[in-house]
Amino acid sequence: MFGKLFGKLKSGLEKTRDSITDKVNEVLKIAVTIDDDLYEELEEILVMADIGFDTTVDIIDRLKKKIKEEKVNEPSEVKPCLRRVIIEMLEEDTVEIEEEFPKVLLIIGINGAGKTTSIGKIASRYKESGKKVLLAAGDTFRAAAIDQLEVWANRAEVDLVKHKEGADPGAVIFDAISAGKSRGSDILICDTAGRLHNKKNLMKELAKINKIVESEFIGAQKETYLVLDATTGQNAVSQAKEFMETSKIDGIILTKLDGTAKGGIVISIKNTLNIPVKYIGVGEGIEDLQEFDASEFVNALFD
């Protein structure tokens, strides 16, 4: 099973690997010495892969330090050093929180980022692991959002609590919590509206939902995940910063990595925002939303 998942990850990162690893290989192949010119070329490759300027500078600084500490002299030995630097950066300051149940998972993100699809895939993962899952259709404003979530609920074979389009999202979450408690659900996954262009209303809405969860589901573990579209590159970082103004974010779900050469955004998000990436999407199938593992990600990228 591990080999199959790694294969999907490797395949899903093909475009990013072409934009980073293949170019790194080309530069190192013709390099004679490890000098400033080599570092500049590596820097340019990383920036073009949407790792971001500040994060790239940090990577190159760490790479120089590691090469000096390990007394690396051959250009051919630079790539393994770069791999270790990126893994260390992705794992840095990451505190693993032990998952507890019952649990409430709030999913936020702009429309079109893959929010509803991600909810369906996460629901399927928990269902397959033996957990009792309940979904809440809290995005009552976007046309067809409720219907789309219902399709995924049926695919994952989990229950769904919904109201009519235009209903109060807080009321949906309240009813979903009541249903979850009465049915003995292990995890309640809540869809929310993605109207980032109207931050004031979104802030009030998320604050209301959080208050309802905290008052009505005392003792439940609560986490908020932000869904970002990897194909938007550095714009995803900007989106995350805006959402951080409205809500505490515990993790990132990065979708559509298989459709972009901008997979370096994973590194930029962690280094810039210090928010852990929880899931990455490397395909359209239910099994193609994978839990993020720094070592696996970098190994698939540099393989």
Annotated binding-site members: 109-116, 191-195, 255-258
Annotated binding site for GTP: 109-116, 191-195, 255-258
d(CA 198, CA 228): 18
Sheet architecture: strand order including 221-229: 159-161, 133-137, 187-191, 103-108, 221-229, 251-255, 277-281, 289-291
- E strand residue ranges, the chain: 103-108, 133-137, 159-161, 187-191, 221-229, 251-255, 277-281, 289-291
- Kindly give the pairing relationship between strand 277-281 and strand 289-291: antiparallel
Q: What angle do CA 215, 224, 235 make, to 5 degrees?
A: 145
d(CA 188, CA 193): 16
d(CA 123, CA 185): 12
d(CA 76, CA 190): 49
Contact 273, 94 (CB under 8 A): no
d(CA 300, CA 7): 8
Contact 302, 21 (CB under 8 A): yes
